[in-house]
Amino acid sequence: MQEKDRFILDIKRLGINGEGIGFYNKLAVFVKNAIPGEGVDVEVTKVLPKMAYAKIVDWKNKSKARLEPKCKYYNECGACQTMHISNDKMGELKRELVIEAIKRYTKLNPTSFEIKKTLTMEEPFNYRNKSTLVVRRNMGKNAVSMIEEGTNKTFAIDTCLVQDEKINEINAKVIALSNELNVKSFGCEKYSWRYLVTRVAKNTNESLVCLVVYKFDKEIEEFAKSIVGRKLADSVYVNINNDDKTHEIFGEESIFIGGKKSIIETIDRYKFNIYPTTFFQLNTKQTEVLYEQVKKACKLTHQERVLDAFCGVGTIATYLANVSKEVVGIEYNKEAIEAAKENLKLNKTKNVSFYQGNTAKLLPELIAKDMTFDVAVFDPPRTGLGEDVIATLLKTNIKRIVYVSCNPSTLAKDLNLLSEKYKVRYIQPVDMFPQTSHVESITLLSLK
């Protein structure tokens, strides 16, 4: 196979980045915007030793699930990868992504336990409660921008269909104000403004704006105070990130400008403080679905001590407190632990305690002090639990483990190791990120 070769390819499955995958002489060929079940006329664009990439030239047959993407930026953006596929079909395909990961990375038989139907959203647009956008000069004016897929180039946008409509409105007003005040962004000499971060609490309608800047100069201060004065958001901050080589959005220092110190979001009956850098699930409505499924998997009867590892600001711990005897949370991030303790006071929760530190180090220390757990909930980052945490779990007799994962591959690798002592009962996929190929899942494991 060589570049510019052309042939008909049958698309067999979906890749983790939303591409269609077919096989040509046993070589996997990745095709952007192709859907499993389609026959496509493709042209090869890149050949590697174990895979190739191709683009669609024409269709032999189109899937009934194919849609015309609603977003005018869809082809150049890349933040959404599956807007051309119907919501119902994506639910099926996300379940299949989990199955493929189990087949590829474990010795487990995926038919030996239930992999449930994906819980999708009825309205799969305008769900994101946070936007983080670069600010660039465009045709002489500031504009929020996205990065073009596969490049370092940016292009201006005026709306995003997966962001909360209120976020789009706030961003437009903040950009208009910045142009009125001649605030400098990338493309101007001696500019400071880098990113615009906007958050909205879906259930309380409160909003927060944070300007991420190189330096907190007079221009930025007046701009931020004007956002407060014109009441464009309920809470306004400036964050200083003067490292021009990092890919991290936020720097270490956040300056409160005005309005409320934090905004409050609710999940079920529980309230949570949100600050500029607070981690909170991006899809509030599906978070309620996710946490209810976690509670269901835990099967709590008010008698259990529950571990909530990688607990963040304590959302799951708080959610489980009223059906547990005690909940113990572990989190590495100091700011998150402080916020978690605030949330306990906010919800008047008495039976939860938090420990700050690395789960791999803290968990064995707690167990060594005779702190036993009946149920453990893990919601790790995309990299998974890690070998040290798994090694600790294999030495315990925790009855049930509820594993919340945002990465089917690392989930499968961890389940393969845990299966030495634990039996997988079921996996419940949840669509937290419609219009993308990402899938969240909840796995229930029980002690053999």
- DSSP assignment of 281-317: -SBHHHHHHHHHHHHHHHT--S--EEEEES-TTTHHH
- CATH code, 130-267: 2.40.50.1070
| Tokens 């945490």 sit on residue | 389
- pLDDT tens per residue across span 393-403: 999 999 999 99
CA dist., res. 163 & res. 364, Å (int): 41
Q: Residue 149 has what pLDDT?
A: 80
Q: What is the DSSP string of 228-279?
A: HHTTS-SEEEEEE---SS---S--SEEEEEEE-SSEEEEETTEEEEE-TT--
CA dist., res. 413 & res. 15, Å (int): 18
Task: Report the candidate in 236, 229, 222 with the shortest Cα–Cα distance to residue 181.
Answer: 222
pTM flag (> 0.95): no
Where are the CATH 3.40.50.150 domain residues in the chain? 91-122+279-447
CA dist., res. 135 & res. 149, Å (int): 17
Contact, 53 vs 44, CB < 8 A? yes
Contact, 213 vs 185, CB < 8 A? no
- pLDDT tens per residue across span 428-445: 999 999 999 999 999 999
Where are the CATH 2.40.50.140 domain residues in the chain? 1-63
CA dist., res. 275 & res. 263, Å (int): 7
Helix (H) or strand (E) segment spanning residue 77:
helix 74-77
Name every residue whose Cβ is closer than 8 Å to that of residue 88 and which is 6 or more positions away in sequence: 65, 120
Task: Report the candidate in 115, 159, 197, 134 with the shortest Cα–Cα distance to residue 412.
Answer: 115
| Tokens 């004007």 sit on residue | 226
- pLDDT tens per residue across span 298-348: 999 999 999 999 999 999 999 999 999 999 999 999 989 999 999 999 999
More confident position, 134 or 148: 134
The alpha carbon of 274 is separated from its chain's Cα centroid by a whole number of angstroms, namely 16
How far CA 189 is from CA of 137, 146, 184, 329, 375, in Å, comes to 11, 21, 8, 47, 56
Residue type, 106: T
Residue type, 318: T
Q: Residue 47 has what pLDDT?
A: 95
Contact, 411 vs 100, CB < 8 A? no
Helix (H) or strand (E) segment spanning residue 409:
helix 408-418
Q: Residue 147 has what pLDDT?
A: 85
- % of the chain with per-residue pLDDT over 70: 100
Q: Residue 148 has what pLDDT?
A: 85
Task: Report the candidate in 256, 253, 273 with the shortest Cα–Cα distance to residue 264.
Answer: 273
Above 80 in pLDDT, residue 150?
no
Above 80 in pLDDT, residue 267?
yes
CA dist., res. 253 & res. 442, Å (int): 35
pLDDT band at 370 (very low <50, low <70, confident <90, very high): confident
- At the topology level, CATH places domain 91-122+279-447 in Rossmann fold (3.40.50)
How many CA atoms lie within 13 Å of 438's alpha carbon, on the beta-carbon side?
A: 15
Catalytic status, residue 188: no
Helix (H) or strand (E) segment spanning residue 92:
helix 87-105
Above 90 in pLDDT, residue 151?
no
How far CA 222 is from CA of 153, 172, 187, 226, 242, in Å, comes to 30, 18, 20, 6, 19
| Tokens 């509820």 sit on residue | 402
Q: 83-89 long-range contacts, Cβ below 8 Å, gap at least 24?
A: 83/435, 84/33, 84/35, 85/35, 87/120, 87/121, 87/124, 87/434, 88/120, 89/35, 89/63, 89/65
Q: Which CATH architecture has domain 1-63?
A: Beta Barrel (2.40)
| Tokens 């299966």 sit on residue | 419
- pLDDT tens per residue across span 203-238: 999 999 999 999 999 999 999 999 999 999 999 999
- pLDDT tens per residue across span 245-265: 888 999 999 999 999 999 999
Catalytic-labelled residue, pool 80, 160, 298, 406: 406
How many CA atoms lie within 13 Å of 84's alpha carbon, on the beta-carbon side?
A: 18
- pLDDT tens per residue across span 63-111: 999 999 999 999 889 899 999 999 999 999 999 999 999 999 999 999 9
